[in-house]
Amino acid sequence: MNRSASRGLVRVSLALGAAAASTVLVATVGVAAPAVPAGSTGTPAATQDSTQRGCAVVYFDLGETLVHTAEDESVNYRSGASAYLRDLRERHIKVGLITNVPSSWGESDAERADALKKEVDSGWKGPTPFAWDDFGDRILTPRTEAERKPAPALWERAEAGSGGCRLVYEAETAEEIDAATSLGYLAYQVGQPSRPDFLPARLIELLAHLPR
């Protein structure tokens, strides 16, 4: 599936809603999969290879996407975010962050990530700590102020390190969704009325196995 088709599929999914989107994607998977010859008891080699190669990485913005800052400046998970990350974790779907922080927070991605963690944790209020371990080294922040979103640099760096996996981006602002979509991501705006808060994890699983 080329990039234009991928973007079209996401737009259709959003318009139809979660239930209808599941039907569309399941049907698409069925069409894309090679037919099994009559009398065969196994899965075709091409299908096996596709399944083995199937993977996705879901990148998020952080503020007001996964976490919410209250009026008293305390920080906690945005509604549904902790359960959603747990669902992705249980499905072995990798996650990452693409988030703007001051480039002065560190000389390397690791240093800026550590500064971000300290900033969030210092104001954290809630029974469940933020799941930093899920993100590993996939926390991408601007190396210069010119790299701040909506500049394409962070999304391009994420793609370069994705190992060819399908890329998903979830954020709360339409501007970032449009930018990620233009770069070939399957982008989803969170927190919209009459839609799931986040792109359903089961849909991401199905998309991971579709040809790109």
Instruction: With CA atoms as reference, report the closest residue to 159 among 175, 179, 182, 183.
Output: 183
Q: Rounded to 10 degrees, what is the CA torsion of 174, 178, 179, 185?
A: 120
**pLDDT at position 97:** 98
Neighbours of 85 (CB within 10 A): 22
Distance CA(97)–CA(116), nearest Å, equals: 11
Give the Cα separation of 156 and 95 in Å (integer): 16
Closest CA to 170 of 61, 76, 48, 21: 61
- Which residue(s) pair with 95 in the sheet? 58
Stronger pLDDT, 203 or 25, i.e. the higher one: 203
Q: What is the CATH number of domain 55-199?
A: 3.40.50.1000
- 34-61 average pLDDT score: 54
Residue 10 has pLDDT above 50, yes or no: no
Structural Rg of the chain based on CA atoms:
18
Residues 195-203: what's their mean pLDDT? 97
Percent of the chain scoring above 70 in pLDDT: 75
Instruction: Indicate if the pLDDT at residue 21 is higher than 70.
Output: no
In which band, very low, low, confident or very high, does the pLDDT at 53 lie, cut at 50, 70 and 90? low
| Mean pLDDT, all residues of the chain | 82
User: What is the pLDDT confidence band of residue 38, given thresholds at 50, 70 and 90?
Assistant: very low
15-24, 92-101, 169-178, 196-205, range with the lowest pLDDT: 15-24
For the cut 60, the answer to whether the pLDDT of residue 127 exceeds it is yes
Q: Which of 9-23, 107-121, 169-183 has the lowest mean pLDDT?
A: 9-23
pTM of the model: 0.77
Q: Where are the domains of the chain?
A: 55-199
